Structure 1
C-alpha cells in the first residue's frame, strides 16, 4: 500500500525501547518520518551504552536544543499539515507542550501509552491517594481527546483493558508493546542436558525490584545453580553488590552495554524478574529472543509473552513464596528449562521488530488508508 502521509512521532526522550518496531516502520513507510524529542536520555541510560543517534532514515528534532521551542513546534505543524501524529503519553512533557496544537484541529492523531502508575503494594497514604485519583485523571484524558484521537496503543493487554475502563471504545484500541532492537544471535546447538541452572537478572539495582529474588535465593536448597546480577546502577547498588559478594552461588556481573545484552543472555538458562510494577519490561523480550526461560510476576505487563509462549512461569506479584517455589522447582527439575528454551525459540519471531512494526503499519493502514479487516495482535 502506498503511503502519502508523513509520520511524526512525539517523544519525551529517544525511543530506544521501541526501536525494533519503529526502525521497520521507517524502512517500509516510503514517506518522510520525523521524531520530535523533548530531551536527551538520562545519565543512567547513557551509562549502559544507550545512544541517541542511531535512527536510520529519520529526521530528528531535539527540542532541548532549540532556542525557541514554541516557535519550533509551531513550524512543525505549519510545515507538515497532512502528517499522521503519534504522541507518546497522555500526560508526558511532550504532550503538554503540543496539546493546544493537537486539540480540535482535525489532525490524523494517535497515542501510545503505558498504563497508569498504580502501585498496588505501596500502602503509604500518599500513594493510596494517588492510586485513587489516577483513574479519574485518565478518564479526563479520554474526555479531552475522544473526538480527536483515531487510535490508542496501550502497552499490553492489561493496558488495553484499563483504557477500556477509562471510556475508550474497543475499536480504537490496539494493545502494543515496547519492542527493542534484538541482537543478532550466535548460532548455538540446543542444550540436551543442564548440569546446573544459571539464573540471570539484568537491570537496575533497587530493593523494590530485587528483594523477592534475594529472599528466594537465600532459601534455595541444592547446589546445582548460580545467579548473576548484572547492572550495577540504581539507588541500592552498593548494598546489592555487597550482598552478591557475600552470598553463596551469587555473583555480580558488572554492567553490560545495552546492545550486547541479548547476545550475553544466551549463556544463561532462566531470567528472573520479580517486579511489583512495570509499564512494559522489555528485558523479557530480550530473554525470549535469547532462548531463555523466564520466571516473572504478573505486574511486568510483558509477562503476557511468557503466558502466550509457555516459556516460563508467571506468579502473582508480592507472592514471595510462589516466586521461591518456582525457582526451587527449576533447581530440582532442570529438564523444565529445556522445554522453556524450545518454546522461547519457537515464539521469538512473534516479537521481532519486523512483526511488531508491520502490526503498527497495519493499524495505520486500517485507520487512515481504508485497509480492510482490523489488525489483530500477532503475539497473543
Structure 2
C-alpha cells in the first residue's frame, strides 16, 4: 500500500482528475491538502472547483500546520508530495518533515517565471543569470535538502528536469510526473457562425505578453494565401486593449476574433472547432492546454519555452516547436498548414496518439512505478 499526501496551493483542473484516479487505486491511500486561495484571475478561468471535490481533498485551517498534520492519520509513515519551498507554509512543512525523518518528494514545473519577465524574455541573459538566481533564491540549498533528506524530485516535463539539475539535484533522484487530463469531447454545435469553408488557428488562455500574443498576431498578419483562415483568441484580454488596437492597425478586425473569458468547462466547445492549435508562449512551465488540444486531435504549434511542447510535439509529424519570440518561425509553422491542408487531420491523429501516452491512467501508473523505484533506491 502506498500511503501519500499531496500538499498543493489550490485545486487545479490540471490535477484534480489525476488525483481522483490515483485515489481510486486499491493500492493507494491518498489525502490532498490545499494551503492557499484562488486568485480572481483563476476564478475568471473557471478554476473554482471547491464544491466538486471528494472528501480526501481538504483545505487546511488558518495555516495551522500542526493541526493539519494531526488530522492526517499516520502522517509520519506517509510519503508527502511538496510543490516547492517558496510559500512560508511549505517551508514550515519541510522543516517538520525533515525533523521527523518523514519521506517526501518535490514536484514542480520549470521555475523562474518572475526572472524571465524581469529580464524581458532575453533568453541569452537569462541563461547566464539563472545559476546565480538559483543560488541567491534558495534553489541550490533546496536541492541539497532533496539530495540529503528527500526521496527524490518529480519533474513536470523536460524543462523542469533541466532546472532541477541546474539547482544541483542528483540526476538519479529525478523522475517524471506530468500534468495529465481527461480526454475532452467536442460539442455537437460550433460556438462560431463562420462559413464552412473557413479554417481556424486558435489560441486559448490568458491574453498576456508572456503568452506571446503579440508575436502570434504579427505572424498571422504575415501569412500568404490566408484569406480563408481566421485567428481565434480564446480568453481574457489582459492587454488593456493593446491587442485589439494591433489588429485594427493591421486591418485584421474581420479575421481576428476575441472571445473574451471562457469558463474552463466550456473550453472543449471552442478548441474542438479549431483546425490548428497555437500556443506561442514565452514561458510556460508545462502548458496543459496542449494536453487538451491533443485530446481533441489538433495539430500543435508551440515554442521552446513551453514544457509540454517537448512531450506533445513531434516536428512535422503532428506540429512544430518554434523559437519563442520568433515571428518568422511561428509564421512559417502556421503557413505550413495553409499550404498543406491535407496534413491537418493526419497531424491531429498523431497528436491524439501522443495524448494517450500522457493520459490519466498512464500518469497514475507512472506515479506508482516511480514511487516504488525511489523507495527501493533508498533502501
TM-score (norm 1): 0.84
What is residue 378 of structure 1 aligned with on the other side? Answer: none
What is residue 305 of structure 1 aligned with on the other side? Answer: 311
Aligned pair 1:12/2:16, yes or no?
no
Alignment of 1:351-366 (within 5 A): 351-366=358-373
Displacement of 1:356 in angstroms is: 1.1
- What is the count of residue pairs matched by the alignment? 358
C-alpha distance in structure 2 between counterparts of 1:123 and 1:264, whole Å = 33
C-alpha distance in structure 2 between counterparts of 1:233 and 1:180, whole Å = 25
Say if 1:231 and 1:253, in contact at 8 Å, map to a contact too.
Answer: yes
Alignment of 1:179-194 (within 5 A): 179-185=180-186
Aligned pair 1:122/2:121, yes or no?
yes
1:142-199 residue CA offsets vs partner (Å, 9 max, x unmatched): 12332211121112122213322333222221122222344245699xxxxx944310
What is residue 150 of structure 1 aligned with on the other side? Answer: 151
C-alpha distance in structure 2 between counterparts of 1:7 and 1:55, whole Å = 21
- Which residue, out of 202, 205, 208, partners 2:204? 202
Change (3 A) 1:51 1:182: farther
What is residue 192 of structure 2 aligned with on the other side? Answer: none
Displacement of 1:123 in angstroms is: 4.8
Displacement of 1:317 in angstroms is: 1.1
C-alpha distance in structure 2 between counterparts of 1:230 and 1:237, whole Å = 16
SS, match of residue 352 in structure 2: helix
The range that moved more, 41-50 or 300-309, is 300-309
What is residue 214 of structure 1 aligned with on the other side? Answer: 217
Say if 1:88 and 1:113, in contact at 8 Å, map to a contact too.
Answer: yes
1:219-271 residue CA offsets vs partner (Å, 9 max, x unmatched): 2222121111111243x153334555762411112322202213431111111
Change (3 A) 1:352 1:78: closer
Change (3 A) 1:201 1:311: same
Change (3 A) 1:237 1:272: farther
TM-score (norm 2): 0.84
Aligned pair 1:252/2:258, yes or no?
yes
Aligned pair 1:289/2:290, yes or no?
no
C-alpha distance in structure 1 between counterparts of 2:152 and 2:128, whole Å = 30
What is residue 42 of structure 2 aligned with on the other side? Answer: 45
Say if 2:18 and 2:363, in contact at 8 Å, map to a contact too.
Answer: yes
Change (3 A) 1:171 1:132: closer
